[in-house]
Amino acid sequence: MKIRIATRKSELALFQANLVAQELIKKNAKLDVELVPMTSDGDETSEPLHQIGGKGLFINTLESALVNNLADIAVHSLKDVPAKLDNNFCIAAVLERASPGDMIIGNNGLSIQELPLNSSIATSSPRRYAQIKNLNPEINIVPIRGNIATRIKKLGQENIDGLIVAKAALERLNISTQNCYEFSFEEMLPAASQGYIGIECLASNAKVIDILKSINSHDDLILAQAERDFVSKLNGSCLSPIAIYCRQNADQILISAKVLSQNGDKQIYKEIISSFKSIEKDINKLSKEFIALGGDKLIHS
């Protein structure tokens, strides 16, 4: 059997697609795997994401390939996939989570609090923007677009003091993190499902879903879906200042969740203990508590 993998053409996307291909072949020796690199709508514009439809633009082309039988699966950085999927699609598998944290490149290892007055930090993520402003309102935030290499190049060309990037992306591309600053989770909670490689397919494709079970990290998929459900229940998107992190600790799951106003001056933060047995119920309860406190409105204020 042949599995065709739709992927964007960026270095990180191709790395992730190749990793999925390697895992599929490792677990299914007779499988023939082919990469189908594609250019998404989001790759063809440099406009700010909030003005052009959000990060969903990066997956629309790949989903169209699934619908039109040009590919069997699509590989994504799961944090970039909208929390609410069309019913035609499903996230059938995730690989084991890489580091979910964020790092600052180009700051000589200084934290946000240690940076000189009026330093400029580059990010186009509302979640990162709001949390930085909450930590240090004096920091200037500079919007930035492009793949990892492009953003790092701009860091050296545009008089920017630091660039915030997911640690998982740097590790996957073997980019040195020496002299970088890694945020603690108390300072900056990650985006829902940050660090996960997600594998999407048609919900009706039972044969492909069965194959993907061979590489799926079962517990990780439960945690990833719980984080995504939290965003969905707050009617949030990839562009909302919502942060959540579910991690296993022995037989418990610690859930930390935070929502902020767009400028970071207000926030709601909660931590709860859950389990694999009760996580769906607990996420539902937690989201209702945030909504009761106005969290679904705060993310738009």
Tens-digit pLDDT profile for residues 95-153: 999 999 999 998 778 888 888 888 899 999 999 999 999 999 999 999 998 889 889 88
**pLDDT mean over 12-21:** 97
Query: Could you give the C-alpha distances from 97 to 79, 129, 165, 167, 224, in angstroms and in order?
Result: 12, 24, 16, 12, 9
Q: Where in the chain is the domain with CATH 3.40.190.10?
A: 2-96+196-217, 102-182
Amino acid identity, position 230:
F
pTM recorded for the entire structure: 0.91
Sign of dihedral through CA atoms 113, 117, 123, 126?
positive
2-96+196-217 maps to which CATH number? 3.40.190.10
269 or 44, which is more confident = 269
What is the Cα–Cα distance from 96 to 98, expressed in whole angstroms? Answer: 7
**What percent of the chain shows pLDDT beyond 90?**
78
Q: Which of 43, 72, 80, 220 is catalytic?
A: 80
Q: Quote the pLDDT of residue 41.
A: 57
Q: Quote the pLDDT of residue 40.
A: 64
Q: What is the pLDDT of residues 202-254, one digit of tens each?
A: 999 999 999 999 999 999 999 999 999 999 999 999 889 999 999 998 889 99
102-182 maps to which CATH number? 3.40.190.10
Residues 223 and 253 sit within 8 Å (Cβ to Cβ): yes
Sign of dihedral through CA atoms 168, 169, 170, 171?
positive
**pLDDT mean over 22-48:** 80
Q: Quote the pLDDT of residue 292.
A: 97
Q: Quote the pLDDT of residue 280.
A: 97
State the pairing for strand pair 2-8/32-38.
parallel
**pLDDT mean over 178-186:** 91
Is 32 labeled as catalytic in the residue annotation?
A: no
**What percent of the chain shows pLDDT beyond 70?**
94
Q: Quote the pLDDT of residue 154.
A: 86
